[in-house]
Amino acid sequence: MMYSFRNDYSEGAHPSILKAMNDENLNQKIGYGMDEICEQARALIRKECDAQQADVHFLVGGTQANLTVIAAALRPYEAVIACESGHINVHETGSIEACGHKVCTAYAKDGKLTPAMIQKIVDFHADEHMVKPKMVYISNATELGTIYYKEELTALHQICKELDLYLFMDGARLGSALTAEGNDLTLADIARLCDVFYIGGTKNGALFGEAVVINHEQIKKEFRYNIKQRGGMLAKGFLLGLQFKTLFENDLFYSLAKQANECAQRMVKVIKDAGFEFYADSPTNQLFPILPNSLADKISEKYAFQVQEKINDETTALRFVTSWACPNHVIDEFINDFKSYTK
Amino acid sequence: MMYSFRNDYSEGAHPSILKAMNDENLNQKIGYGMDEICEQARALIRKECDAQQADVHFLVGGTQANLTVIAAALRPYEAVIACESGHINVHETGSIEACGHKVCTAYAKDGKLTPAMIQKIVDFHADEHMVKPKMVYISNATELGTIYYKEELTALHQICKELDLYLFMDGARLGSALTAEGNDLTLADIARLCDVFYIGGTKNGALFGEAVVINHEQIKKEFRYNIKQRGGMLAKGFLLGLQFKTLFENDLFYSLAKQANECAQRMVKVIKDAGFEFYADSPTNQLFPILPNSLADKISEKYAFQVQEKINDETTALRFVTSWACPNHVIDEFINDFKSYTK
Amino acid sequence: MMYSFRNDYSEGAHPSILKAMNDENLNQKIGYGMDEICEQARALIRKECDAQQADVHFLVGGTQANLTVIAAALRPYEAVIACESGHINVHETGSIEACGHKVCTAYAKDGKLTPAMIQKIVDFHADEHMVKPKMVYISNATELGTIYYKEELTALHQICKELDLYLFMDGARLGSALTAEGNDLTLADIARLCDVFYIGGTKNGALFGEAVVINHEQIKKEFRYNIKQRGGMLAKGFLLGLQFKTLFENDLFYSLAKQANECAQRMVKVIKDAGFEFYADSPTNQLFPILPNSLADKISEKYAFQVQEKINDETTALRFVTSWACPNHVIDEFINDFKSYTK
Amino acid sequence: MMYSFRNDYSEGAHPSILKAMNDENLNQKIGYGMDEICEQARALIRKECDAQQADVHFLVGGTQANLTVIAAALRPYEAVIACESGHINVHETGSIEACGHKVCTAYAKDGKLTPAMIQKIVDFHADEHMVKPKMVYISNATELGTIYYKEELTALHQICKELDLYLFMDGARLGSALTAEGNDLTLADIARLCDVFYIGGTKNGALFGEAVVINHEQIKKEFRYNIKQRGGMLAKGFLLGLQFKTLFENDLFYSLAKQANECAQRMVKVIKDAGFEFYADSPTNQLFPILPNSLADKISEKYAFQVQEKINDETTALRFVTSWACPNHVIDEFINDFKSYTK
């Protein structure tokens, strides 16, 4: 039977989340996220972020979170700076542009923005004949599985303050980033350094849900209007609160992400040991090995994955993604299989 | 303990839906609604609609469905015709305008558009200095709980054909409409008479979900691009398919709506029997009694509801909504209470 | 030969404007309105408005001015309040909606908003499920030729302050309003009472051009970005400055408007004297007589005009507009003709 | 006294245009471009383009023309392909994005798109998670003064047909392109090869004005609604027709552009002869010499120009633009001055 490493949203939710839904199912709640369970989840997140003044809003998905935050923050002629590979630039069907805003991009091999890239873009946009960059969008983990370190995020925070830019972190895979080997950031650091960010539930044990944490007063203002206008106001909003409450009550958020990372890194090790290189150096739950096409074909008989990029006629960069639901025995089997293919 | 008649989304999902989610939870699926369960749900809906050529898409919520359909259908200068009380005109925070389109409105006491209203709006919009009406938006059941009859919908269909307008039915409460006493429409009728419509799950037994059924080729075209761009593409799309499959496998969709309607109509009866009038004559799961303020206060000690409109200094039109999850004994109790208050 | 009363933009510019263009034609200027002539025109306007702190921007046309101001002022979910008959609501092809904003309307027979209408609209929009009204749009003169008096504008100013709304006056026909019999407002009053307004040149002696005067700091901010983004930044911007400089150097602005008004009011008088009624009571350069169809047909043999509204099978409300370029002898002739038709 | 080579819109209009405006000034016309003079201008343009079926619309400026055409042509999720240096990508303050559309870019040193660049962008955009490229935007002359040759434009036409893309040429400097040395395209070629393009008046002898020529039926459809909605419908539209009629009645359009080109190329020659290199190889009215900073400083004492790009600490690429109004004696003087500076 085929096992899919295509993404980290192939399964439903951690059983404790389903159980919580079941337990609360017929208790009447106020709609639209104004219920007590959402309030409890918000309190847990504020505590975990050490950010008592933060506003916390729950949205269903990542594209929705990105477009709602950016549309809420920017005036019409203002633009957002992102990596060329950034999700908002490539994989959201122009949703930011549909809200009226340009995405200004810089190329970064590892998917991470630097202060120099930001400075160059701001310098280029000199007058009113050009858009005005006003926000920096980063992902952590990035599209290439790489993560930002505290020193890097602090530097981004500083240049954003200097240049009067909002710093926004897309945390669709924030669990993976925070539990990756070498990570030195905490949620509290991120809350201190970013004007707004979100904590991904969809890819880390929830059925769906992203928790947007807003620190900047300007973005906080009437944010619920933006949610409703963009179609992101869930009628049965308690479903979102319930999931985040479950994830943050018992560190489930971290343990699930850790499981995904460990599975991925075990795969990385066996591939590295066999002498193959990687398209990007990811310590998280995505891996991008560059493999001979014949080997890729062999693997594809039992495992599903994605093609990242054709490297040359003989080799291809592949993309494997592990999830919180990935059983250890699947990785054991993959390792055995891989060794046998490359023997 | 307080019972809420504030809306029909105070509870979670019918237990059979939760069970299905539980059963499928760890089976890996392809993302974004491309999985087999969604395909099965689509097949069931096409069959129920007797519309084998229809495209069926699943979205999370009603505002999202409305804005995605309308933005997909209209060119920038085209407008949508709706009742003044229409959900898109009043209760979606300008989401249609945020997609660039004007809502042209007509006043209708019962919340139902007529061919004459449509003709008048089209006649008024004479040239390129004005928007061009291109779509008619109706809700069934309406915001006032009223329903369209086959003769009425046929007439709307005909004038839309004559005037080259799309006919779009918001079916957030379509279950209630189809199971109301006096209804003479079927899903197949609606699929035949409307260019596009949706079948509401959120307010009828699902955790969330609206099934958009598209019959017009022009609106079908690349509709998934529109879903993704507007933030409505659910990563774990199988959750939507699963819910609609459950609702349509065993007529659950109809039996749940019927339960809601029956609860509401029992309340209508006791209030009518006591001699009170109604703001709108609804055969569905919403009721709008006009009650003395003192009686309203009394009721509010045990039951939550909404204020529809202040009628005069002594009386107010109230809004009670029942749901599929409303137990009969709650209605029994309400009836007893009401009788005792008005004795 | 036919004379047209169809509108007030049937002719070119006052000869002194053409002369100024000719004189300056080959002198090189800096582009985009940053030249000295624009600066001089801005100074003249600030002086006339007694508003030294105001920002003044020149735009080509009225729809452009309206959409640029409104898009610059509002956040995405914010709406603008206007009369049903307001130009932005009816005759701009949904340009405000194309910028993402809803127009909330009140019906006023005379085309003038009152504080009560504004209060009612604001009260109705209670929460984040509805748009948030944030600006009031009025025209002076209105679409029906009526004008605002100082007491009325002061009352609008006050309620806007109370409700935290911007007050925006469309002055496409401001010259006509300010020179109408009975008017008690000055440009300085308007600058004091409105957050933003514009002074129409197109309909008052210029080839084209509207001068936007901004008093509110929030709307001033980076306004030129908005102009450029919406396509309103004229390369040879000095053409706009030159026209307004000419209009305001020698009170030409007022004398031209006065001529238009006087022509119209002479027509009003002969029609009133003949016993006919008017659709609206306009002291400016538009008149809306309600005439028998046979009389209208007779007039149409020598004079072009527009139909405002069919009143009944025998009579129609017509719309005649006079311009600054209307020669007195044409009015003399019209009066004679009218008398002969109605003898 | 200073002479400005900053751009080609520093002066007003060719005297014959001012004369025509003067002659027609007080003749009443129908508004909004529906007058006879506009009709005559359209006929002249259709004839010159050998395109009797084309629709011709007159707009005031280039950004307005670009955004109106693109917004009219694309559905919300569709994107336009352009060079990185393309005017819509850099110098229109995100006006295309403000209409909801992404600009997908390719880098080209000479500012010219190739079929390979287009193919690569289309191939990359594989599914509904990404925008769908639907239009190719090119400028002729380009931002760097380069021009497209018939073979190149034919190749672009072919790949656009293959890939179902609209081909749109921004002709703000089309006169310069068509009269450049080496050019082998005619207006008729362009009308045959492009789905839509415009002929620039602003930079070639008019006060303002761009003539949009539409060949594709889909883009023709109700185009005037788009013009009005975007604020581009000039009330006194005859001013636009009058200017294009004058430009095309006696080949003035070509002779003016030729004069600008010849002035520029005389400057190119003297700079080349002195041994300097150029940033781009432009046969039109823009030149981009790379000069030592000391020389640039010297030139700047008598001539105004723009900085294109800092090359290194000692040299800078400059941008000089000549216009139709540039007198030969100014170029004579520049040549003498340049020789003396570099002696």
| pLDDT tens per residue across all 343 residues of chain D | 799 999 999 999 999 999 999 999 999 999 999 999 999 999 999 999 999 999 999 999 999 999 999 999 999 999 999 999 999 999 999 999 999 999 999 999 999 999 999 999 999 999 999 999 999 999 999 999 999 999 999 999 999 999 999 999 999 999 999 999 999 999 999 999 999 999 999 999 999 999 999 999 999 999 999 999 999 999 999 999 999 999 999 899 999 999 999 999 999 999 999 999 999 999 999 999 999 999 999 999 999 999 999 999 999 999 999 999 999 999 999 999 999 999 8
Mean pLDDT value across residues A17-31: 97
**8 Å CB contact of B77 and C100:** no
Q: Residue A241 has which token pair? A: 């609160």
Q: A304 to chain B: nearest residue by CA? A: B30
pLDDT band at C41 (very low <50, low <70, confident <90, very high): very high
Per residue in A269-327, pLDDT (tens digit) is: 999 999 999 999 999 999 999 999 999 999 999 999 999 999 999 999 999 999 999 99
Q: Residue C34 has which token pair? A: 């940053």
Phi first, then psi, for residue D319 (nearest 5°) are -130, 115
Q: Parallel, antiparallel, or unpaired for β B315-321 and B196-200?
A: unpaired
Chain C CB contacts of D24 under 8 Å are: 12
The pLDDT value recorded for residue C310 is 94
CA distance B99 to B71: 6
* Chain centroid offset of residue D212 CA: 12
The pLDDT value recorded for residue B343 is 87
Q: D327 to chain C: nearest residue by CA? A: C26
Which sign does the torsion angle of CA C10, C14, C15, C17 carry? negative
**8 Å CB contact of A325 and B30:** no
Residue D323's Cβ-side half-sphere holds a number of Cα atoms within 13 Å equal to 26
**8 Å CB contact of C75 and A222:** yes
CA distance D174 to D178: 6
The pLDDT value recorded for residue B118 is 98
Beta-carbon contacts below 8 Å between B and D: 47
Per residue in B239-269, pLDDT (tens digit) is: 999 999 999 998 999 999 999 999 999 999 9
Q: What is the DSSP letter of A11?
A: S
Contact C28, D3 (CB under 8 A): yes
Contact A166, A219 (CB under 8 A): yes
Contact C79, C131 (CB under 8 A): yes
Chain C CB contacts of A228 under 8 Å are: 77, 128-129
Residue C257's Cβ-side half-sphere holds a number of Cα atoms within 13 Å equal to 28
Per residue in A213-269, pLDDT (tens digit) is: 999 999 999 999 999 999 999 999 999 999 999 999 989 999 999 999 999 999 999
| Chain B residues whose C-beta sits inside 8 Å of any chain C C-beta | 76-77, 79, 90-94, 96-98, 100-103, 128-131
Q: B75 to chain C: nearest residue by CA? A: C98
Q: Is residue D213 left, alpha or beta, with left meaning phi > 0 and alpha meaning psi from -120 to 50?
A: beta
ipTM of the complex: 0.97
Residue B28 pLDDT greater than 80, yes or no: yes
Helix (H, G, I), strand (E, B) or coil at B104: strand
CA distance A233 to A214: 17
Per residue in D89-98, pLDDT (tens digit) is: 999 999 999 9
CA proximity to C56, closest of C172, C197, C166, C186: C197
Q: Residue A88 has which token pair? A: 């908002």
Helix (H, G, I), strand (E, B) or coil at C310: strand
Contact B12, A24 (CB under 8 A): yes
**8 Å CB contact of B231 and A27:** no
**8 Å CB contact of B68 and A12:** no
**8 Å CB contact of B228 and A13:** no
CA distance D266 to D185: 23
Contact A17, A207 (CB under 8 A): yes
Instruction: Count other Cβ atoms within 10 Å, centred on residue B36.
Output: 11
Helix (H) or strand (E) holding D336: helix D328-342
Residue A121 pLDDT greater than 90, yes or no: yes
Chains that touch A (3 or more CB pairs under 8 A): B, C, D
**Residue D265 identity:** Q
Q: D132 to chain A: nearest residue by CA? A: A93
Tell me the domains of chain A and their CATH numbers.
3-9+253-342 (3.90.1150.10), 15-251 (3.40.640.10)
| A162/chain C closest Cα distance in angstroms | 19
**Which residues have C-beta within 8 Å of that of residue B114, sequence separation ≥ 6?**
B108, B152, B155, B156
The residue length of chain A stands at 343
CA distance D254 to D177: 10
Q: What is the residue-wise DSSP string for D200-231?
A: E-TTTTSSS-EEEEE--HHHHTTHHHHHHHTT
**8 Å CB contact of D77 and B132:** no
Q: A7 to chain B: nearest residue by CA? A: B31
Q: A226 to chain C: nearest residue by CA? A: C77
Instruction: Count other Cβ atoms within 10 Å, centred on residue A254.
Output: 17
**8 Å CB contact of D229 and C98:** yes
Query: Out of D31, D62, D92, whose CB is closest to C7?
Result: D31
Residue C59 pLDDT greater than 90, yes or no: yes
Put the strands of the sheet holding D55-59 in their side by side order: D55-59, D210-214, D196-200, D166-170, D132-139, D78-83, D103-106
Chain D CB contacts of C225 under 8 Å are: 93
**Which residues have C-beta within 8 Å of that of residue A163, sequence separation ≥ 6?**
A118, A119, A122, A133
| C290/chain D closest Cα distance in angstroms | 24
Q: B227 to chain D: nearest residue by CA? A: D128
Residue percentage of chain A with pLDDT more than 90: 99
The pLDDT value recorded for residue D343 is 87
**8 Å CB contact of C12 and D30:** no
CA distance B263 to B176: 12
CA distance B87 to B84: 9
Distances (CA, A) of D24 to C304, D243, D297: 19, 11, 46
Contact D157, D188 (CB under 8 A): no
**8 Å CB contact of A97 and D92:** no
CA distance D339 to C283: 68
Which sign does the torsion angle of CA C328, C334, C338, C339 carry? positive
Mean pLDDT value across residues B119-137: 97
Instruction: Count other Cβ atoms within 10 Å, centred on residue B165.
Output: 21
Query: Out of C79, C91, C98, whose CB is closest to B94?
Result: C79
CA proximity to C263, closest of C167, C165, C333: C333
**8 Å CB contact of C227 and A128:** yes
Contact B168, B69 (CB under 8 A): yes
Residue C14's Cβ-side half-sphere holds a number of Cα atoms within 13 Å equal to 28
**8 Å CB contact of A226 and C100:** no
Query: Out of B18, B203, B232, whose CB is closest to A21?
Result: B18
**8 Å CB contact of D231 and C234:** no
Mean pLDDT rounded to a whole number for chain B: 97
Query: Out of B10, B28, B29, whose CB is closest to A28?
Result: B10
Chain A CB contacts of C129 under 8 Å are: 228, 233
Instruction: Count other Cβ atoms within 10 Å, centred on residue D54.
Output: 19
* Chain centroid offset of residue B89 CA: 14
Chains that touch D (3 or more CB pairs under 8 A): A, B, C
Chain D CB contacts of B222 under 8 Å are: 75, 77, 128, 132
User: Residues A24-29: contacts with CB within 8 Å, 24+ apart?
Assistant: A24/A238, A24/A242, A24/B12, A25/B11, A25/B12, A25/B13, A25/B15, A25/B18, A26/B11, A26/B12, A26/B325, A27/B11, A28/B3, A28/B4, A28/B10, A28/B11, A29/A236, A29/A238, A29/B10, A29/B11
**8 Å CB contact of C95 and D239:** no
| C117/chain D closest Cα distance in angstroms | 27
CA distance B17 to A22: 10
Chain C CB contacts of A224 under 8 Å are: 128
Query: Out of A25, A92, A235, whose CB is closest to B13?
Result: A25
**8 Å CB contact of D93 and C229:** yes
| Percent helix, strand and coil across chain C, each to the nearest 5 | 45, 20, 40
Q: Residue C33 has which token pair? A: 């309105």
Q: C172 to chain D: nearest residue by CA? A: D235
| A79/chain D closest Cα distance in angstroms | 8
Chain A CB contacts of C224 under 8 Å are: 128
